[in-house]
């Protein structure tokens, strides 16, 4: 048997050090044994991360440069230009100029994205979504790099490479792509219970959004706002879509992965091209250190949120996206976001996940874009004047003049400029005391991993809970390692016994003993703000209705329906077996799409404007039958008249509130019919 710390050769030819029992010892790339791979080096248990942490820097540096030039995460994305408008100035809270005046507009670019899949993956898998905004302010760029889920999987940035390695394609086989339903991800989850809060969110309907236009955004971390007097407040940032938050259903999401790989990208582009500009409210949760200390969780813990019932959301602005990119590569692939890009009046907290991101994002741009001068690429360049003493480097596009490339200098003479200088009212970090030993440790206040997932579960409707339990059951059914499934179930028991029992039943497994929690969970009050269905916005604005017609359909009825949909704010899309001109009763009409290529998955509701003869003919057409069956299965409204009954009968459509006459369709189309679901499929 090898002695402790003997050097030996691993399977891949790499040199390993062996600990007791021939277990390889984890080391740095240069062979230094590690004592802790769970925590970054901080000044005190809740203090800031220290730059001297060479283990953190080496780990993230390597991770950032693993693949080029595609983004390691958030590789598949869509961008749009627009503006932010301040609607409620907050100079008492922040000296940031974009929040100083009512009506002040700031140019923005936004990138929406999936996380796990590569650039060639699809839009609609179950995944976290990115919601990153670059504000081109008159005091420099501010990058708010957000997600559509308000918490994150891990508490410390040193674990980010491990998280992403686990959810990406498995290292030996190169699959699955853009999916979390596999062994390595759930193995990581089962060993890191801090992931559970985000996992439950991702397994909810939040993981399969209907559209980027109907998706919330959250800054995740606790930041600080600092006013002109240096007073500071903690803050969390929120984006709230004016169209309301809406999701797909799981079967619909799966079909869209085949039916339209670019469903979200196309939806965003088409909306802007048609003048239906996506709009979002910008809200802040502001609180002080006293309230933070009173909470039963730590506001520096990125796996926790503060319910709006405790700290209400204050809407201070709106964002409108009104321009599509002119070049996908130049404005999407070359777009670089940095959480470290803040403006005077916005500052960082000591959140250890945020502290690591401040290093990681800057470092990865050199790998992706090939130069330290990536900030000169037009989409990344500030719109305000900018200057410093940083010169040269690969792909330098500025022609700097003068002898001095250092500061301070005294060469402002003989026609030369002295160059830029700091100014007293420039960015200043908020003053705060820092004390404590240098150590690798997780604060005790970070130890509760179950209370907030429990709160999220309790906040959902029964139908939403069934979706969560069914999603976890599905994902674990793809996990071949039984011990991983057992461990996950042991953690779920600490979240909710009913949830754990439903998942265990769906897997035909016995419930194991509950995992021993590091900190006993507590019951937090549910929050309606965490439920999509409880806050459903019944509107046709931004929604799309597929209208099926065929030869002989009544043109007047069809025209009336299309206008009624438009009047309600929706977008009608006409569908027929053929896309050329079709003779109707009262005239001719061309369809927007062919039936075989326009399944009902692409629409929020459908309508059937048919003659009896056409309905009987289409009742023998699998595309028409599937069109109606899928709309019904995806809980959408179906508008029809008596002529369409043969097709409805063939598709097995049972009457309910969502199966309605044509006149009532515009109102019915504003909802999904969740009560229909138990009749159609078994849910956990």
Asked if residue 17 has pLDDT above 70, the reply is no
Closest CA to 345 of 98, 113, 683: 98
Q: pLDDT tens, 185-239?
A: 999 999 999 999 999 999 999 999 999 999 999 999 999 999 999 999 999 999 9
Q: Kindly report the number of other CB atoms within 10 A of residue 20's CB atom.
A: 11
How far are the Cα atoms of 209, 259, 597 from residue 263, in angstroms, in the given order? 11, 8, 14
Q: In this predicted model, which residue has the larger pLDDT, 537 or 17?
A: 537
pLDDT band at 94 (very low <50, low <70, confident <90, very high): very high
Which DSSP helix (H) or strand (E) runs through 645? helix 645-650
Query: What span, in angstroms and rounded, lies between the C-alpha atoms of 360 and 363?
Result: 5
Residue 560 CA to residue 558 CA, distance in Å, equals 5
CA distances from 88 to 239, 244, 316, 319, 373 (A): 15, 21, 4, 13, 36
pLDDT value, residue 21: 58
Among the listed residues 179, 248, 245, 178, the one whose alpha carbon sits nearest the alpha carbon of residue 218: 245
DSSP designation for 138: B
Predicted local confidence at residue 20, as pLDDT: 52
pLDDT tops 60 at residue 168: yes
Tokens for 171, please give them: 């290292």
Catalytic site residues?
74, 147
Average pLDDT over residues 153-180: 95
pLDDT in tens, 443-479: 999 999 999 999 999 999 999 999 999 999 999 999 9
| Surface-to-core class of residue 529, CB atoms within 10 Å of its CB (0-12 exposed, 13-18 middle, 19+ buried) | middle
CA distance 461 to 441: 38
**What residues have CB less than 8 Å from 307, skipping those under 6 apart?**
455, 524, 525, 527, 529, 530
CA distance 41 to 48: 8
Listed residue (227, 223, 280) closest to 90, CA to CA: 227
Burial class (CB in 10 A: 0-12, 13-18, 19+), 12: exposed
Buried b (16+ CB within 10 A) or exposed e, 284-299: bbbbeeeebeeeebbb
> What is the band of 11 on the pLDDT scale with cuts at 50, 70, 90?
very low
The burial class, CB within 10 Å (0-12 / 13-18 / 19+), for 358 is middle
Q: What is the dihedral of CA 343, 345, 349, 353, to 10 degrees?
A: -30
Question: SS3 for 474?
Answer: helix
CA distances 452 to 31, 276, 297, 461, 501, Å, are 39, 37, 9, 16, 19
Q: What is the pLDDT of residues 543-596, one digit of tens each?
A: 999 999 999 999 999 999 999 999 999 999 999 999 888 999 999 999 999 999
Cα–Cα dist 14/40, whole Å: 26
Decide if pLDDT at 393 tops 80.
Answer: yes
**667: which 2 tokens?**
């109102």
Query: Which domains can be identified in the chain, with CATH numbers?
Result: 6-35 (no CATH), 54-180+196-376 (2.40.180.10), 448-534 (1.20.1370.20), 539-679 (3.40.50.880)
* 142: enclosing H helix or E strand: strand 140-147
Q: What is the pLDDT of residues 270-316, one digit of tens each?
A: 999 999 999 999 999 999 999 999 999 999 999 999 999 999 999 99
What is the residue-averaged pLDDT of the chain?
Answer: 92
The torsion angles phi and psi of 51, rounded to 5 degrees, stand at -65, -25
pLDDT greater than 80 at residue 3: no
Helix (H, G, I), strand (E, B) or coil at 90: coil
* pLDDT, tens only, 660-681: 999 999 999 999 999 999 999 9
Q: Does residue 108 surpass a pLDDT of 80?
A: yes
- What does 74-132 look like in DSSP terms, one character per residue? S-SEEEEEEEEEESS--TTT---GGGSSTT-EEEEEEEEEESSS-TTS-S-SS--EEEE
Please say whether the beta carbons of 605 and 636 come within 8 A: yes
Assess contact for 558 and 547: CB atoms under 8 A.
yes
Q: What's the average model confidence in pLDDT over 104-124?
A: 96
**Which uninterrupted H or E stretch holds 547?**
strand 544-549
pLDDT at 403 > cutoff 90: no
């Amino acid at each position: 048997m090898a002695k402790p710390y003997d050097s030996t050769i691993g399977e891949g030819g790499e040199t390993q050090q062996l600990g007791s029992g021939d277990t390889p010892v984890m080391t740095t790339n240069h062979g230094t044994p590690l004592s802790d791979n769970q925590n970054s080096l901080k000044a005190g248990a809740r203090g800031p991360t220290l730059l001297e942490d060479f283990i953190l820097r080496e780990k993230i540096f390597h991770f950032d440069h693993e693949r080029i030039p595609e983004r390691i995460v958030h590789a598949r994305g869509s961008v749009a230009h627009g503006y932010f408008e301040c609607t409620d100035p907050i100079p008492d809270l922040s000296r940031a100029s974009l929040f100083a005046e009512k009506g002040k507009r700031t140019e923005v670019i936004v990138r929406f994205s999936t996380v796990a899949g590569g650039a060639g993956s699809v839009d609609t898998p179950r995944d976290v979504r990115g919601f990153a905004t670059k504000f081109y302010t008159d005091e420099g760029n501010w990058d708010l790099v957000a997600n559509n889920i308000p918490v994150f999987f891990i508490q410390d940035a040193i674990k980010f490479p491990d998280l992403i390695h686990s959810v990406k394609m498995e290292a030996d086989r190169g699959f699955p792509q853009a999916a979390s339903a596999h062994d390595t991800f759930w193995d990581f989850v089962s060993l890191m219970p801090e992931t559970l809060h985000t996992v439950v969110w991702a397994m909810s309907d939040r993981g399969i959004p209907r559209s980027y236009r109907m998706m919330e955004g959250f800054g995740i971390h606790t930041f600080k706002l600092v006013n002109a007097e240096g007073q500071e407040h903690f803050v969390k940032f929120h984006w709230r879509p004016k169209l309301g938050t809406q999701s797909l259903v799981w079967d619909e999401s799966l079909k869209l992965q085949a039916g339209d790989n670019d469903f979200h990208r196309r939806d965003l582009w088409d909306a802007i091209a048609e003048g239906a500009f996506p709009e979002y409210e910008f809200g802040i949760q502001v609180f002080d250190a006293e309230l933070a200390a009173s909470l039963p969780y730590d506001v520096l813990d990125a796996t926790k949120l503060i319910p709006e019932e405790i700290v209400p959301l204050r809407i201070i602005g709106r964002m409108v996206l009104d321009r599509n990119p002119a070049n996908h590569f130049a404005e999407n692939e070359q777009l670089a976001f940095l959480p470290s890009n803040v403006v005077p009046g916005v500052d960082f907290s000591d959140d250890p996940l945020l502290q690591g991101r401040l290093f990681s994002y800057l470092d990865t741009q050199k790998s992706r874009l090939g130069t330290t001068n990536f900030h000169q690429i037009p989409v990344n360049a500030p719109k305000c004047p900018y200057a410093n003493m940083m010169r040269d480097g690969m792909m330098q596009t500025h022609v700097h003049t003068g002898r001095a490339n250092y500061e301070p200098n005294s060469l402002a003479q003989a026609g030369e400029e002295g160059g830029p200088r700091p100014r007293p009212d420039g960015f200043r970090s908020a003053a705060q005391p820092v004390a404590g030993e240098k150590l690798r440790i997780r604060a005790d206040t970070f130890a509760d991993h179950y209370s907030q997932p429990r709160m999220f579960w309790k906040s959902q409707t029964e139908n939403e809970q069934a979706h969560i339990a069914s999603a976890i059951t599905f994902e674990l059914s793809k996990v071949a390692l039984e011990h991983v499934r057992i461990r996950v179930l042991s953690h779920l028991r600490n979240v909710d016994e009913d949830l754990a029992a439903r998942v265990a039943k769906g897997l035909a497994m016995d419930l194991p003993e509950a995992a021993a929690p590091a900190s006993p969970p507590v019951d937090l009050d549910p929050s309606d703000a965490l439920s999509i269905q409880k806050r459903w916005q019944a509107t046709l604005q931004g929604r799309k209705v597929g209208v099926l017609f065929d030869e002989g359909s009544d043109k007047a009825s069809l025209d009336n329906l299309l206008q009624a949909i438009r009047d309600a704010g929706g977008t009608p899309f006409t569908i027929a077996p053929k896309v050329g001109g079709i003779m109707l009763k009262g005239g001719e009409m061309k369809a927007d799409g062919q039936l075989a290529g326009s399944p009902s998955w692409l629409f929020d509701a459908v309508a059937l404007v048919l003659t009896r003869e056409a309905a009987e003919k289409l009742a023998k057409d699998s595309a028409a039958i599937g069109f109606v069956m899928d709309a019904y299965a995806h809980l959408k409204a179906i508008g029809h008249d008596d002529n369409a009954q043969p097709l409805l009968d063939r598709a097995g459509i049972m009457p309910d509130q969502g199966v309605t006459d044509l006149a009532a369709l515009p109102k019915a189309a504003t909802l999904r019919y969740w009560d229909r679901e138990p009749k159609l499929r078994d849910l956990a």
